[in-house]
Amino acid sequence: MKHLSLSKKRVVLVGLILVLVAFCLFQSSNIIVNAQMGTVVSAVPQTSTPQVGQTLTVNLTIANVQNLYALDVTLDWNTSVLQFVSVGLLLGVQSHPSGVLYGNQISDSVTPGDVYVQQSDASQSTGEYHLVATSVSPADSFNGSGTIATVTLNVTNPGHSALKLQSELADQPEPGEATSNPIDHQDSSSAVNASVIPEFPSVIALAFLVSVVTVGVLFSKRALKKRLN
């Protein structure tokens, strides 16, 4: 009976290890895929399963861009599920190291060396946020990855809401030229499923189940020892 209990314990532990290894491989594959996609503009919610009454943060990010000088980004959501609260711009990496675009500060007018925000408007009636911004010479162009803006929404009702993202990117004009060229990229939209009852991510739920089974096996082993004694 002792050997049987130890065998069960080993099976459970091996299963837990396999779950953790599979999760790591999944995360690694996502990193590799993203690296191969080139420039990507994404809408990234802090969770895909928010609860009604919670505040949801959606980061608008850009990855692997070169020579970025201007951007036009639109985010759409389901107004019956989500309600707009606020937006935080992370433009001007001098002030926001994790942001994008170079500029001394955000400006609502074309000021040399600043980031000119032509439009930053949200409409709850249409469920849309629209941002248009550009660096102003002599500011440099932006290279790399960063967060464009953070949109905060309230979860008002249960249901499904797509977070549809559309964007246009432009590079820095050549010296003596006034026209920018578009930057090839991909838009990555997302979605959330709001609920009243909290939902667990599948990997976490599986890991929790394995942990419960492990504890159950250990208690069963102790109970068996007491009976034998």
Q: Helices marked H in the chain — which ranges?
A: 2-36, 202-228
One domain, residues 123 and 21: no
One domain, residues 175 and 68: yes
Give the C-alpha separation, 100 to 142, whole Å.
7
Per-residue pLDDT of the chain (229 residues; tens, 9 = 90+): 445 455 655 655 555 555 444 444 444 444 444 445 699 999 999 999 999 999 999 999 999 999 999 999 999 999 999 999 999 999 999 999 999 999 999 999 999 999 999 999 999 999 999 999 999 999 999 999 999 999 999 999 999 999 999 999 999 998 877 789 999 999 999 999 999 975 555 555 556 666 666 666 565 666 556 666 5
Could you tell me the pTM of the whole model?
0.72
Region of 67 please: left (phi>0), alpha (psi -120 to 50) or beta.
Answer: left
Domain count, the chain: 2
Give the C-alpha separation, 120 to 125, whole Å.
16
Domain that holds residue 140: 40-194
One domain, residues 22 and 121: no
Q: Is the residue at 18 inside a domain?
A: yes
Give the C-alpha separation, 204 to 206, whole Å.
5
Give the torsion sign (CA, 185, 85, 161, 50): positive
One domain, residues 158 and 55: yes
One domain, residues 174 and 211: no
Q: Is the residue at 228 inside a domain?
A: no
What pLDDT, on the 0 to 100 scale, is given for residue 176?
75
**Cβ partners under 8 Å of residue 123, min gap 6:** 84, 129
What pLDDT, on the 0 to 100 scale, is given for residue 223?
58
**How many Å separate Cα 84 from the centre of its chain?**
18
Tell me whether residue 127 is exposed, middle or buried, using C-beta atoms within 10 angstroms of its C-beta: 0 to 12, 13 to 18, 19 or more: buried
